[in-house]
Amino acid sequence: WCFRIQKMMEVYKPDWCESREDWSVYMFSPQNKFRLLCQSIIAHKLFDYVVLVFIFLNCITVALERPRILQGSLERLFLTISNYIFTAIFVAEMTVKVVSMGLYLGETAYLRSSWNILDGFLVFVSLIDIVVSMAGGAKILGVLRVLRLLRTLRPLRVISRAPGLKLVVETLITSLKPIGNIVLICCAFFIIFGILGVQLFKGKFYYCVGFDVKN
């Protein structure tokens, strides 16, 4: 669908867009100092480890959430402020990556990776959660609960930073079709032997009748 939309929009694309296809979000050229700085940041060997530490810390604060936390209490204040801090950190990480790699255009663009799409979705959910909370969470409590539930998906961001976990998940996704065929074969055998067992043994086992079946 994205490819079709891109083809449709090429007709309406201004000339200056074609001359800036290698620019990041049509604003930062490949030689732009800020873009080069962002590229050096994400290329640093400690970048992923630092982000991973923040993800683990954020998982701890999400796990500390519980019902009946009093509004205005120290616990609620700590969780709210920590949510703002972690959201700001993840927004900054996403911004650095978008400026460095581009948003959609280019083979290494941010949205070309399914893992980055997951990260961006979770960051977007966090921002909406903050906006809804500030706009009056009590009035739209249902929406707020859904957003809080979606925040529990944040630990999934660990997968994109752990090569071993990423390999396992990608292998499982690739194997879904063969595994599905195996499940269908197993179900067919279960049904066959289930029907055979019922036909052979129905009514031949001891069973209890009457009001008092305990004795």
Instruction: Tokens for 131, please give them.
Output: 């906006």
Q: Mean per-residue pLDDT for 141-150?
A: 67
Instruction: Tokens for 135, please give them.
Output: 């706009």
**What are the φ and ψ backbone dihedral angles of 61, each rounded to 5 degrees?**
-65, -35
Quick: pLDDT tens for 37-93. 988 988 888 888 888 888 889 888 888 887 787 877 888 889 889 989 998 999 999
Instruction: State the CB neighbour count (10 A cutoff) for residue 153.
Output: 13
- For the chain, give percent helix, strand, coil, nearest 5: 70, 0, 25
Q: Which domains does the chain have, with CATH numbers?
A: 2-161 (1.20.120.350)
pTM score, whole prediction: 0.66
Q: Mean per-residue pLDDT for 5-27?
A: 61
Q: How confident is the model at residue 18 (pLDDT cuts 50, 70, 90)?
A: low
Cα–Cα distance, 125 to 156 (Å, whole number): 14
Q: Are 126 and 89 in contact (CB under 8 A)?
A: no
